[in-house]
Amino acid sequence: MCGIVGYIGDGSARGIILDGLKKLEYRGYDSAGIALHAGDKIEVRKKQGRISNLEEFIANDPVDSTLGVGHTRWATHGAPSDINSHPHCNGDSTIAVVHNGIVENYVELREWLIKEHGVKFLSETDTEVIAQLIGVCYRGDLLDAVYEAVEKMRGAYAIGVIAAGEPDKIVAVRKSSPLIVGLGQGCNFIASDIPALLRHVKDIYLIENNETVVLTRDQVTIYDKERKEVKRDVFHVTWSAEAAEKEGYPHFMLKEIHEQPGGIEETLTRRLSPEGMIKLDGISLTRKELERFNRIYIVACGTAYHAGLVGKYAIEKFARLPVEVDVASEFRYRDPLVDEKTLFIAISQSGETLDTLEALRDAKSKGARILSVVNVVGSSVARESDDVFYTWAGPEIAVASTKAYTTQLICMYLIALHMGLERGALPMEEYKRILQELLALPDKLRKLLETEPDIREIAWELFLYNKNDVFFIGRGNDAGVAYEGSLKLKEISYINSFAIAAGELKHGTIALIEPGTPVIALATQDALYEKMLSNIQEVKARGAYVVGLAKEGNQEIGKRGNANRVVYIPRCPDEITPVLAVVPLQLLAYYIAKFRDCDIDKPKNLAKSVTVE
Active site residues: 2, 608
Residue 257 binds ligand M6R, judged by CB under 6 A: no
Using CB under 6 A as the binding rule, whether residue 554 contacts ligand M6R is answered as: no
Binding residue count for ligand M6R, defined by CB under 6 A: 16
Residue nearest to ligand M6R as judged by C-beta position: 302
Shortest gap between Cβ of 350 and ligand M6R (angstroms)? 3
- Provide the H-helix boundaries in 423-451: 428-449
612 contacts ligand M6R (rule: CB under 6 A): no
Pair 246, 255: CB distance under 8 Å: yes
Scan residues 432-491 and list those touching ligand M6R (CB under 6 A).
487, 491
Under rule CB under 6 A, residue 304 binds ligand M6R: yes
Minimum CB distance to ligand M6R smaller for 371 or for 532: 371
**Which of 303, 391, 497, 554 contacts ligand M6R by CB under 6 A?**
303
Contact flag: residue 349 with ligand M6R (CB under 6 A): yes
Residue 302 interacts with ligand M6R (CB under 6 A): yes or no: yes
Sheet holding 235-236, edge to edge: 41-48, 31-38, 67-73, 3-8, 188-191, 180-183, 203-206, 235-236
* Binding region for ligand M6R (CB under 6 A) out of 62-70, 87-95, 112-120, 344-352: 344-352
Measured from the CB atom, the residue of 96 and 487 that comes closer to ligand M6R is 487
Interface with ligand M6R, residue 610, by CB under 6 A? yes
Among 16, 399, 417, 438, binds ligand M6R (CB under 6 A): 399
Kindly tell me which of 138 and 392 has the beta carbon lying closer to ligand M6R.
392
Whole-number Å distance between alpha carbons of 300 and 307: 9
Residue 507, amino acid: H
569 touches 581 (CB < 8 A) = yes
CB atoms within 10 A of CB 571: 16
Please state, in angstroms and rounded to a whole number, the distance separating the CA atoms of residues 281 and 156: 33
Stretch that binds ligand M6R, among 265-273, 382-390, 395-403, 446-454 (CB under 6 A): 395-403
N-to-C CA span, the chain = 10
Q: Which lies closer to ligand M6R via its Cβ, residue 84 or residue 350?
A: 350
The answer to whether 176 contacts ligand M6R (rule: CB under 6 A) is no
- The residue from 153, 253, 290, 301 that contacts ligand M6R (CB under 6 A) is 301
Minimum CB separation of residue 384 from ligand M6R in Å reads 13
10 Å Cβ neighbour count for 378? 17
329 scored as a contact of ligand M6R (CB under 6 A)? no
- Residue 312 sits at φ, ψ, to 5 deg, of -60, -50
- Three-state DSSP string of 538-579: HHHCCCCEEEEEEECCCHHHHCCCCCCEEEEECCCCHHHCHH
Question: Measured between alpha carbons, how far is 266 from 261 in angstroms, rounded to an integer?
Answer: 9
> CA Rg, the chain, in Å?
25
> Which stretches of the chain bind ligand M6R, using CB under 6 A?
301-304, 348-350, 353, 356, 399-401, 487, 491, 609-610
